[in-house]
Amino acid sequence: MPTARTLYKKELAHCREHFDRVDLQRERGYLMKFTTFSANMENIMPLVPRTQHESLFRELLLQKAFTTFDQHCISAGDLVKLSGAYDVFTKNEGPKIYCTYHLGSYRQLTSVLFRNGVDCVLLVGNNMNRLQGGDMTEHIDALREKHGLTNVFRIVETGSPSAGLTVLRELKAGRSLIVYVDGSPETAPVAGEESQFLSVRLGNRRIMTRKGVGFLSHAANVPIVPVVSYRKASLTNVLHFLSPIRPIRQSNREMYCQEAMQQLYDAFWPYLNRYPGQWEGWNFIQAFIEPEQPRQATNGQRPIRPIFNKDRYTLCDLEQAPILFDRRLYQTYEITEDLRDLLLDLNSVDSVEGVVGEEMFGELVEMEILC
């Protein structure tokens, strides 16, 4: 009789077979999604060659399919391998703030904690709750029925005006918090919210991250437990528990928030390097990256034989019109088909300036489209 793990791997093999039958490049929006993914990876992890980006993007899409399957498989949590300081949730030391990332089968953390009797409060964005909250609640209800569990599970939306006070009350009532610390598209910075964010280093760039986790930890005197999820080549899901970050009550709160959030991203970095094709954050991290200051690189000089700056720009043929995508500043420019054709074949003309005119040529050079 096949084991549960054998059956699980068989189901994932079916997921892969279905995925391999899909022509991804024909899927609506694929080109811009991949281009954004590629720009994000290049900005944060520039040592990964651009030639590897598309295979990593395909891996990410496959991992998303696996993660969705895991959410609907009631026994998937029983097959998760725990590593590191995972005895932290079996000790009777009060509530904790479990901080995880959108890496691997990241939803398994909630399942594993609840399965082990932890009273859980899951903090998610409003859109995420609308799209996936029902599935998570259904999963928890199935675990409760199967194992006779009586512990608490609750979802709190980050967009609620009372979310902070609600979560603080839950922590003081002894319930642990689960947070995706790397954010989501709807939790990205917007004008007027600058005081809720702080800057941390992630790879080659600095990003903005919400400091609420550090604030709650300090205010409630509750430790932060970083947890990294990843999927091994054998398809085994792993939850690795790292050493808790403990607040010092009399310390400066702002300083603690800065140090705690940087520690969370430093803890994540080695696993992101090891499993770059498993992080869903590549699809939205551009909303958190601190913009680079524009720099003047031409010094007024115009190239005699200009070339298209493929390092910085990507040409995308969309249905409506050709698009020029700035990989550094994440800006898009709609261009004419004639300009697209020219940029793709600059060697076919004797004088680019003669074709486009002095003013446009100067603009193309100033924007570093031509170099």
What distance in Å separates the CA atoms of residue 74 and residue 142, rounded to the nearest whole number? Answer: 7
Comparing C-alpha atoms, which of 323, 317, 211, 328 is closest to residue 263? 211
Of the two residues 193 and 42, the one the predictor is more confident about is 42
Query: Averaged over 128-132, what is the pLDDT?
Result: 72
198 and 303 within one domain: no
Q: Identify whether 253 is part of a domain.
A: yes
58 and 116 within one domain: yes
282 and 195 within one domain: yes
Using DSSP, state whether 319 is helix, strand or coil.
Answer: coil
Say which range, 25-29, 80-84, 200-204, 344-348, has the weakest mean pLDDT: 25-29
Last residue of a domain, one of 287, 318, 351: 287
Q: What is the pLDDT of residues 61-116, one digit of tens each?
A: 999 999 999 988 888 989 999 999 888 777 678 999 999 999 999 999 999 999 99
273 and 130 within one domain: yes
270 and 297 within one domain: no
Please, which pLDDT band fits residue 348 given cuts at 50, 70 and 90? confident
Q: Identify whether 3 is part of a domain.
A: no
Q: Give phi and psi for 202, each to the nearest 5.
A: -135, 105
Please, which pLDDT band fits residue 294 given cuts at 50, 70 and 90? low
Comparing C-alpha atoms, which of 4, 89, 71, 42 is closest to residue 289? 42
Last residue of a domain, one of 233, 252, 287: 287
299 and 157 within one domain: no
Q: What is the pLDDT of residue 318?
A: 81
Q: Identify whether 124 is part of a domain.
A: yes
- 345, pLDDT greater than 70: yes
99 and 30 within one domain: yes
Q: What is the pLDDT of residue 319?
A: 74
What distance in Å separates the CA atoms of residue 271 and residue 334, rounded to the nearest whole number? Answer: 37
Q: Which letter, b or e, does each residue of 223-240 get, where b requires 16 or more Cβ atoms within 10 Å of its Cβ?
A: bbbbbbbbbeeeeebbbb
Q: Identify whether 334 is part of a domain.
A: yes
217 and 129 within one domain: yes
Q: What is the pLDDT of residue 354?
A: 87
304 and 181 within one domain: no
Total of domains in the chain? 2
Q: What is the pLDDT of residues 242-261, one digit of tens each?
A: 999 999 888 999 999 999 99
First to last CA, the chain: 65
- 134, pLDDT greater than 80: no
Q: What is the pLDDT of residue 117?
A: 92
298 and 229 within one domain: no
150 and 261 within one domain: yes
Q: Identify whether 17 is part of a domain.
A: no
Domain extent, residue 346, equals 293-371
Q: What is the pLDDT of residues 154-208, one digit of tens each?
A: 999 887 788 889 999 999 999 999 999 999 988 899 888 888 999 999 999 999 9
Q: Identify whether 216 is part of a domain.
A: yes
- 298, pLDDT greater than 60: no
Q: What is the pLDDT of residue 24?
A: 87
List beta partners, residue 100. Answer: 180
Of the two residues 320 and 250, the one the predictor is more confident about is 250
Comparing C-alpha atoms, which of 221, 335, 290, 278 is closest to residue 100? 278
pTM of the model: 0.92
369 and 238 within one domain: no
Last residue of a domain, one of 287, 304, 324: 287
Q: What is the pLDDT of residue 191?
A: 85
Q: What is the pLDDT of residue 194?
A: 86
Q: What is the pLDDT of residue 100?
A: 97
